[in-house]
Amino acid sequence: MENLLIVLIAALLGMVFYTYAGYPIILYIAGMFRSRKNAPEDNELPSVALIISAHNESRVIRDKIENSLQLDYPADRLKIIVASDGSDDGTNSMVREYPGVVLKAFDNRSGKSATLNRAVVGLEDDLLIFSDANAFYRKDAVRKLVRNFSDPEIGCVVGKLVYVDGESSVGKGESLYWKYEAFLNWLESRRKSVLVATGTIFAIRRELYRPVQSDVANDLQIPADIASQGYGVVYESEAVASEKATSYYREEFMRKYRIIVRGLTGYRHLGGDFGSVFRNFQFISRKLLRWWVGPALTLVYIFNIFLLGRPLFTTLFALQSIFYILALAGLVTGRGNRQSKFLYIPFYFVTVNAASFYAIATFLSGKRYSAWDKAETTRDFGEDQGERPELRLVGSGDEKPAAEKKRKQGKVERIT
């Protein structure tokens, strides 16, 4: 019996190691034989439709529009569209203050994926860029995304998301998590095979867009659809969007929980087909196995109890217990601005894996999500608004005339 438990513990810990370290090593080796070079910027800029998904975003929509109007891209080649999914908090009225911005307002809330399906209807622009209302682009972000399409083999370009103002345990952990995700994107991009898009900043060729299923995340399905059509999916680290990190444990827990439920749903709907055998391998390694880390570590801890008579496993049990105690301490002191990595890293790791445990149980029970509930603190910049300008202003005041010029162009439309 003890030998069986030892084998099981070794196998489970091996899976965890592979998920976080083995897979990146394989990607690095694979990329050595198919490394891609950065594409040069094209002199003839394509037309771009920047689609901003919004549901009750009155707290940030003006800032997002101002940020978009200041982007360094020709006004006659950039169309700014706000796809409003059943907003009833004044968001639509605020968008109408900008005549140069197209408002596609849908009366009944149907979820982000369904809203995007309706928003792209009738668009004839060369490229589509997808963004969220609380994600603020650097001035050159669109140009950096677009330059990759000079390679005719590229169908989707994924930008880089950075988190700001993450002073809580949750915020610091999320920032660290996205640095790791960016590293994986870079490794996958060398094979033109980035698995998942960054939902706040990614671009595709318009003619490659296929309708997204309502209960599947668009940043999961769209890259899979692009790859299945024979096009590459790459990562552009210089196309940067900034977003405020979540502040509270419950918000981040529920956000990860919903992401994983939708990811498992997407895996089922797509039938495990993400565009190629290698991309299927990527999904299993990067996502599916990672979602099972929570249950795996729980089993390791339980199995370890029956092996406490062995010195090696007594030490292992002690190390696990210390790790979980540190995670608990991170929860208790989570709002501290100077919190040590010894607390917020264990805390965030446990939070994410607890959410995956809950998400797997939810998925198996048959529950699904089509509408997305945003994390409210990612829209909360404080009463004095002191932090907001650093997130939205991508240039200096001398660019205001260009923004004013863009406001005067375009149209407003309502869709029911």
Q: How many whole angstroms separate alpha carbon 27 and alpha carbon 195? A: 12
- Going across the sheet that includes 232-244, the strands are 136-137, 232-244, 154-164, 202-205, 127-132, 48-54, 78-85, 101-106, 413-414
Single-letter code of the amino acid located at 45: L
Q: What is the pLDDT of residue 380?
A: 62
**Whole-prediction pTM:** 0.84
Radius of gyration of the chain from Cα atoms? 22
Tens of pLDDT along the chain (416 residues)?
899 999 999 999 999 999 999 999 999 998 887 656 665 566 689 999 999 999 999 999 999 999 999 999 999 999 999 999 999 999 999 999 999 999 999 988 888 889 999 999 999 999 999 999 999 999 999 999 999 999 999 999 999 998 876 556 666 777 788 899 999 999 999 999 999 999 999 999 999 999 998 888 899 999 999 999 999 999 999 999 998 877 677 888 888 898 898 889 888 888 767 888 999 999 999 999 999 999 999 999 999 999 999 999 999 999 999 999 999 988 887 655 556 677 888 988 999 999 999 999 999 988 776 555 655 555 565 433 333 434 433 333 334 444 444 444 444 444 33
Exposure on the CB side of residue 269, measured as CA atoms within 13 A: 20
CA torsion 5-6-10-16 (nearest 10°) is 40
Extract the runs of DSSP E, i.e. beta strands, from 232-280: 232-244
Q: Which tokens in the block code for residue 326? A: 């540190």
All structural domains of the chain: 48-247+390-414 (3.90.550.10)
Tell which residue, 55, 60, 54, 53, has the closest CA to residue 388.
60
Q: How many whole angstroms separate alpha carbon 236 and alpha carbon 135? A: 16
